[in-house]
Amino acid sequence: MVPLSLSLQFARFPDAPLHRAALPRHKVARWLRAALGDDVQMAEIAVRVVDAEEGQRLNREFRQKDYATNVLTFDYSGAPVVAADLVLCAPVVAREAAELDKPLADHYAHLLVHGALHAQGWDHETSEADAEAMEARETAILAGLGLANPYARD
């Protein structure tokens, strides 16, 4: 098992207890470890769950996109020691989970895996082939965790 230093942080916002309940530390660690590649020897990951205002501000400042997005990855070093911050915007995650008719925790699992893959250099915005490869990797990881394919269309 890959050693993981995990910091799990929740901003103060009205629905924070609901999101905290969906993200027990042991599950977050399990989901992140599942996403770490074979070349990773150690990981230092901070996960921060924020409100829409903070999510939008960070997305605007760091990606020049003026809206709150579901997950932002700030990667500082790749394998063999992965260091990253993952910022999840709670209202966006909750809305998407409801729209997809899936449990909040399952959607968080997907987004944490997605963010951890970004921290290791995976990128779905560079080409269609890269997007397909990243989706396939996410799907395989989530299947290993007993979760459904997040990209399956009904």
**C-alpha span between 65 and 34 (Å, rounded):** 30
Average pLDDT over residues 65-83: 96
CATH class of 4-144: alpha beta
What does the pLDDT look like over 13-68, one tens digit per residue? Answer: 999 999 999 999 999 999 999 999 899 999 999 999 999 999 999 999 999 999 99
Beta strands in the chain (DSSP E): 4-10, 42-50, 71-77, 81-89
State whether residue 2 is helix, strand or coil.
coil
Instruction: Name the helix (H) or strand (E) containing 106.
Output: helix 104-119
Work out the pLDDT band at 1, boundaries 50, 70, 90.
confident
| 19 annotated binding-site participant | no
Work out the pLDDT band at 153, boundaries 50, 70, 90.
confident
CB distance 133 to 95 below 8 Å? no
| 118 annotated binding-site participant | yes
Which strands sit side by side in the sheet containing 71-77, from one edge to the other? 4-10, 42-50, 81-89, 71-77
Which backbone phi and psi does 69 adopt, to 5 degrees? -115, 170
What does the pLDDT look like over 121-139, one tens digit per residue? Answer: 999 999 999 999 999 999 9
| 107 annotated binding-site participant | no
Q: Is the pLDDT of residue 74 over 90?
A: yes
